[in-house]
């Protein structure tokens, strides 16, 4: 006799594949499920596309993807941000290339159709052949619904889903807290590390609220930092927690004293920042400003995971982009203080380089672990991914549920949202 969990995967419905304490391996491996995700998740909910600082001026644009669909994020002359499908309405060529830049308009390179920054079709070369029958008003670049919270820009293909602020719900207060690492200056995205790993996107989604892996996978990073930092990052088994925030969002608080970066500013400045603090004092910053800036440089003590593709992770934005069922692209965007002291921003940049990116002391080890998850998932296709850690101690809160810092509560929350969207 076989138990329910030993059933061959073909017999399971999508809903069956997400249980309260586990998900089916096919969520990492089945190309048909991936295709459904592009439609039911990425084309059906709010997806993060940019931070406002990435499109700072009229004409600034960024090319990105929603699922696998190329989109342009662009600011128009009235400062309104548009998210436009990067596809000429004539015969489909992309009208904008390059990761970021500035332009006055979008002109298709194939036949020269031109569009204004808000996507409206402006000009068509040699229009006489259409004999006035071209519905120019109907043939602008397809424009998606765009909303912003705390400088974070999200877009959706759906006009009938809830407003962004409702979708974010309790995650908003964590976004507000995260933005305090501007240290009194506006937050600015100042570049990013991009890398791919041969594995499913949800493996990375899970990792953002996975404290459990940190001491093991990041042992070599921990060996490269000072003792005070080692103690700060020794959070597994500590007083931190993971809290579900609704709609698949969750937060993992690793370092509770660094939830609000403006609290307890009179606490001693950590040894590793002594030199930076002195440099700021030498530049004439007042003691409180020095403390606020130094605190901000260190980053927040939590990772906020916003379903499905963005995380506010300690000191950077983690962006996730599915490529195929077995390939995912990740961007780790560095955050600096716009107009802030150069020495402080240099410290942020060097800290980002230390852990993140293909040559960092952290990212490559994460990437190796995820790659091995995907490889291992090709064995035992009737087996399950176990997500029951911290389930026993889970308690309800005003915003959702909470459990210990290394609980898989955030992952369970994300998969429940996955199930809701996939079976809608």
Partner 1 sequence: MNTALITQVAAFLWQEADMLDHGEYPQWLESWTTDGLYIVPINPDETDFENTLNYACDNAAMRAKRVARLGSGESISTSPVPRTIRSVSRFRVLADDGEVVTVRCAQNLREFRKDVQKHYSADVTFELVRTAGSFLIRRKIIRLINATDTLQGIGYIL
Does 338 bind partner 1 (CB under 8 A)? Our answer is no
Residue of 80, 111, 122, 219 interacting with partner 1 (CB under 8 A) = 219
Least distance from partner 1 to the Cβ atom of residue 72, Å: 18
Over the window 346 to 375, marking each residue x when it contacts partner 1 by CB under 8 A and - when it does not, the resulting string is x--xx-xxx--xxx-x-xxx-xxx------
Does 344 bind partner 1 (CB under 8 A)? Our answer is no
Distance CA(189)–CA(364), nearest Å, equals 22
Q: Which is nearer to partner 1, 76 or 371 (CB)?
A: 371
Q: Strand 47-51 vs strand 114-115: parallel, antiparallel, or unpaired? A: unpaired
Q: Which is nearer to partner 1, 91 or 196 (CB)?
A: 196
Does 237 bind partner 1 (CB under 8 A)? Our answer is no
Residue of 167, 197, 241, 307 interacting with partner 1 (CB under 8 A) = 197
Does 196 bind partner 1 (CB under 8 A)? Our answer is yes
Token code pair at residue 417: 């949202």
Q: Which stretch binds partner 1 (CB under 8 A): 29-37, 80-88, 292-300, 345-353?
A: 345-353
Q: Which stretch binds partner 1 (CB under 8 A): 10-18, 215-223, 284-292, 380-388?
A: 215-223
Residue of 30, 37, 54, 192 interacting with partner 1 (CB under 8 A) = 192
Least distance from partner 1 to the Cβ atom of residue 14, Å: 30
Does 193 bind partner 1 (CB under 8 A)? Our answer is yes
Q: Strand 106-107 vs strand 241-246: parallel, antiparallel, or unpaired? A: unpaired
Q: Which residues of 47-76 are buried (b: 16+ CB within 10 A; e: fewer)?
A: bbbbbbbbbeeeebbbbbbbbebebbbbbb
Least distance from partner 1 to the Cβ atom of residue 372, Å: 8
| Residue 202 CA, distance from chain mean position | 12
Distance CA(25)–CA(1), nearest Å, equals 21
Residue of 125, 342, 386, 397 interacting with partner 1 (CB under 8 A) = 342
User: Phi, psi at residue 131, to the nearest 5°?
Assistant: 50, 45
Q: How many CA atoms lie within 13 A of 127 on its CB side?
A: 11
Q: Which stretch binds partner 1 (CB under 8 A): 110-118, 187-195, 295-303, 304-312?
A: 187-195
Site for partner 1 in 76-105 (CB under 8 A): 99
Q: Which is nearer to partner 1, 240 or 357 (CB)?
A: 357
Q: Which is nearer to partner 1, 213 or 420 (CB)?
A: 213
Least distance from partner 1 to the Cβ atom of residue 221, Å: 8
Size of interface with partner 1, in residues (CB under 8 A): 34
Least distance from partner 1 to the Cβ atom of residue 353, Å: 6
Least distance from partner 1 to the Cβ atom of residue 322, Å: 13
Least distance from partner 1 to the Cβ atom of residue 385, Å: 20
Does 194 bind partner 1 (CB under 8 A)? Our answer is yes
Does 217 bind partner 1 (CB under 8 A)? Our answer is yes
Cα–Cα distance list, 8 to 35, 380, 384 (Å)? 21, 10, 11
Does 269 bind partner 1 (CB under 8 A)? Our answer is no
Q: Which stretch binds partner 1 (CB under 8 A): 58-66, 111-119, 156-164, 216-224?
A: 216-224
For partner 1, the binding residues (CB under 8 A) are 99, 190-197, 217, 219-220, 223-224, 329, 334, 342, 345-346, 349-350, 352-354, 357-359, 361, 363-365, 367-369
């Amino acid at each position: 006799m076989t138990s329910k969990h030993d059933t061959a995967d073909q017999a399971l419905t999508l809903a069956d594949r997400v249980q309260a304490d586990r998900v089916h391996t096919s969520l990492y491996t089945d190309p048909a499920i991936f295709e459904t995700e592009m439609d039911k998740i990425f084309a059906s909910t709010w997806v993060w596309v940019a931070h406002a600082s990435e499109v700072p001026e009229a004409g600034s644009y960024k090319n990105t993807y929603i699922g696998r669909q190329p989109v342009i994020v662009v600011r128009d002359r009235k400062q309104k941000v548009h998210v436009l499908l990067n596809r000429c309405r004539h015969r489909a060529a992309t009208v904008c290339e390059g990761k970021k830049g500035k332009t006055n308009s979008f002109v298709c390179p194939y036949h020269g159709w031109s569009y204004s920054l808000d996507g409206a079709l402006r000009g068509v070369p040699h229009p006489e052949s259409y004999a006035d029958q071209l519905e120019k008003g109907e043939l602008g670049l397809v424009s998606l619904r765009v909303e912003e919270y705390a400088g974070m820009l999200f877009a959706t293909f759906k006009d009938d889903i809830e407003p962004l602020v409702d979708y974010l719900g309790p995650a908003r207060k964590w976004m507000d807290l995260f933005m305090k690492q501007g240290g009194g200056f506006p937050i600015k995205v100042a570049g990013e590390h991009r890398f791919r790993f041969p594995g499913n996107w949800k493996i990375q989604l899970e990792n953002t609220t996975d404290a459990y892996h940190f001491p093991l996978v990041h042992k070599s990073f921990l060996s490269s930092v000072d003792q005070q930092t080692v103690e700060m990052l020794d959070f597994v088994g500590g007083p931190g927690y993971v809290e579900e925030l609704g709609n698949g969002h969750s937060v993992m608080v690793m370092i509770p004293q660094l939830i609000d970066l403006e609290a307890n500013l009179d606490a001693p400045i950590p040894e590793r920042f002594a030199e930076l603090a002195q440099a700021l004092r030498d530049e004439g910053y007042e003691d409180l400003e020095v403390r606020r800036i130094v605190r901000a440089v260190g980053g927040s003590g939590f990772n906020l995971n916003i379903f499905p593709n963005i995380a506010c992770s300690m000191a950077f934005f983690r962006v996730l982009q599915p490529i195929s069922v077995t390939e995912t692209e990740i961007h780790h965007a560095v955050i600096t203080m716009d107009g802030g002291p150069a020495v402080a921003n240099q410290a942020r940049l060097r800290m980002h380089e230390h852990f993140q990116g293909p040559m960092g002391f952290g990212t490559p080890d994460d990437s190796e672990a995820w790659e091995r998850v995907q490889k291992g998932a090709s064995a035992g296709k009737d087996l399950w991914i176990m997500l029951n850690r911290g389930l026993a101690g889970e308690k309800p809160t005003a915003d959702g549920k909470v459990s210990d810092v290394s609980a898989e509560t955030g992952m369970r929350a994300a998969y429940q949202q996955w199930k809701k969207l996939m079976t809608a």
